[in-house]
């Protein structure tokens, strides 16, 4: 029997390499990277190497690692109770967090259902939308279809993958999935022929309008990532597209589900991406940054109209037929409350514009490189797309893994980032400082120079 604390660093690396199964990772080529601790915006591996967390530990850490306010909140909650079911009861911290979330999210989202991760929050939204149409005051049971955007990503559960449009991720699972109506991918970089940046919003919206108008009586909901499609490669939507989608869904009596798992909690410069275009969806999914990147927690927020459709006498069986063991976990809720406190106490949103501008200025020199096709930025969400030929936007052959190679070179400069294909993604914690922004961009510059020497 193995006793605790007997593993050497070599043992840890071996177990990580041979027994731990990493998601979205080819284990035949995986090189162990095991983190021992974190401090501020930095990670420290088991060998003592210091790495800037340029991807916010997969887009979830907001205020840095080991933040004293969040640490203290979790310790305090641990001294009270670690878990309370949300089936028929609830912990106090989850109730307090609910009140705070209703206050900071777009207007009208007054009801909060908790789960554990972004995929689960999307699954809950899909089922809420379906059940809503079956049992609202004027039922529309034929409304069972969903619309998702091209190149969409909404998680890796069956419903999320059904909505997904990233061929590389999702094609294998086709036989398991339900059909969706596929809308356009509102990409402002790879524009269709004869479409300009000035006409892009009109073009994509007309394509979307034609799709939904003829089938709106069968459509339960439109599901979309507002403003930025993260996992698709930091695809940036044209300004105004979200607002026009919201107006059309209201006109045609279709629910709008906004997936703010990646864009929520300050990533785009506002607390939620929807707020850039004054949009309040019917359902909104949040996760990742909900606890500041500390503990697994997600939530699906719903409007009054949806909530009311689930109210009734016990014998009507209108309750939401869905639940999770760890919904509303008190420890996670305490972290979520503390994270919202940090937003206020450290004026996080107020300090973002200067950081966003500084990051943009630092990135500008990279744009002239012959293999940098696009630098896309919304707030502190950045995608740097590498291309073989700039004028035609011709991508590199996938097997060359240029983006991954650039990111490996960045490790030599003490920065951890992770690509999406040949799109280098930068999404640092909101707490990143000016000198750390410079370190982050310099590591990318170095990686590109090493991957393309002499160019």
Mark 268-291 as b/e (b = at least 16 C-beta within 10 Å): bbbbbbbbbbebbbbbbbbbbbbb
Mark 32-56 as b/e (b = at least 16 C-beta within 10 Å): bbeeeebebbbbebbeeeebbbbbb
Q: Is 170 annotated in some ligand binding site?
A: no
Chain centroid to Cα 200, Å, comes to: 24
Q: Is 323 annotated in some ligand binding site?
A: yes
**Residues paired with residue 257 on neighbouring β-strands, in sequence order:** 223, 283
Report the distance separating Cα 306 and Cα 313, nearest Å: 17
DSSP 32: -
Q: Is 418 annotated in some ligand binding site?
A: yes
Q: Is 324 annotated in some ligand binding site?
A: yes
Looking at the chain, how many residues does it have?
455
Q: Is 54 annotated in some ligand binding site?
A: no
Q: Is 145 annotated in some ligand binding site?
A: no
Q: Is 233 annotated in some ligand binding site?
A: no
Report the distance separating Cα 165 and Cα 151, nearest Å: 4
Contact 210, 360 (CB under 8 A): no
Q: Is 153 annotated in some ligand binding site?
A: yes
Report the distance separating Cα 343 and Cα 363, nearest Å: 26
User: Tokens in use for 191?
Assistant: 């524009």
Mark 149-167 as b/e (b = at least 16 C-beta within 10 Å): bbbbbbbbbebbbbbbbbe
Report the distance separating Cα 398 and Cα 275, nearest Å: 36
Start-to-end Cα distance in the chain: 56
Give residues with Cβ within 8 angstroms of 272, minimum separation 6: 104, 105, 106, 226, 260, 263, 264, 265, 284, 286
Report the distance separating Cα 410 and Cα 406, nearest Å: 6
Inter-axis angle of helices 200-213 and 241-252, nearest 10: 20
- Name the binding residues for substrate: 153, 288, 323, 418
- Name the binding residues for pyridoxal 5'-phosphate: 118-119, 259, 324-325
- Name the binding residues: 118-119, 153, 259, 288, 323-325, 418
């Amino acid at each position: 029997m193995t006793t605790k604390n007997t593993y050497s660093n070599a043992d840890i690396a071996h177990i990580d390499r041979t027994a731990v199964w990493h998601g979205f990772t080819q284990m035949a080529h995986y090189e162990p990277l095991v983190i021992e601790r974190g401090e501020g915006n930095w990670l420290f591996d088991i060998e003592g190497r210091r790495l800037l967390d340029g991807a916010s530990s997969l887009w979830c850490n907001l205020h840095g690692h080991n933040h004293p306010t969040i640490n203290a909140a979790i310790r305090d909650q641990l001294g009270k109770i670690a878990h309370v079911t949300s089936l028929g009861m609830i912990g106090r911290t989850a109730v307090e967090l609910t009140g705070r979330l209703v206050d900071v999210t777009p207007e009208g989202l007054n009801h909060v259902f908790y789960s554990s991760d972004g995929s689960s929050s999307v699954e809950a939204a899909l089922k809420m939308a379906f059940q809503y149409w079956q049992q609202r005051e004027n039922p529309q049971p034929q409304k069972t279809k969903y619309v998702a955007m091209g190149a969409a990503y909404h998680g890796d559960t069956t419903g999320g993958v059904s909505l997904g449009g990233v061929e590389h991720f999702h094609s294998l699972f086709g036989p398991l999935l339900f059909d969706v109506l596929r809308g356009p991918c509102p990409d402002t970089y790879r524009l269709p022929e004869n479409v300009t940046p000035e006409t892009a919003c009109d073009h994509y919206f007309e394509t979307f309008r034609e799709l939904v108008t003829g089938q709106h009586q069968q459509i339960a909901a439109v599901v979309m990532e507002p403003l930025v499609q993260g996992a698709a490669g930091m695809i940036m939507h044209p300004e105004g597209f979200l607002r026009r989608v919201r107006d059309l869904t209201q006109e045609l009596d279709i629910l709008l589900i906004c997936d703010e798992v990646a864009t929520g909690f300050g990533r785009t410069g506002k607390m939620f991406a929807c707020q850039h275009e004054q949009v309040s969806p019917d359902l909104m999914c949040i996760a990742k940054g909900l606890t500041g990147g500390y503990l697994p927690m997600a939530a699906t927020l719903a409007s009054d109209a949806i909530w009311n459709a689930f109210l009734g006498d016990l014998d009507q069986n209108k309750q939401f037929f869905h639940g999770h063991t760890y919904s509303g976990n008190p420890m996670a809720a305490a972290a979520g409350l503390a994270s919202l406190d940090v937003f206020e106490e450290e004026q996080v949103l107020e300090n973002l514009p200067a950081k966003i501008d500084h990051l943009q200025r630092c990135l500008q020199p990279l744009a002239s490189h012959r293999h940098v096709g696009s630098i896309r930025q919304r707030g502190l969400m950045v995608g740097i797309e590498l291309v073989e030929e700039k004028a035609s936007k011709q991508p590199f052959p996938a097997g060359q893994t240029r983006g991954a190679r650039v990111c490996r070179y960045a490790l030599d400069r003490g920065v951890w980032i992770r690509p999406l294909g040949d799109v280098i993604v930068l999404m640092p914690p909101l707490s990143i400082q000016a000198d750390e922004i410079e370190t982050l961009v310099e590591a990318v510059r170095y990686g590109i120079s090493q991957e393309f020497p002499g160019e």
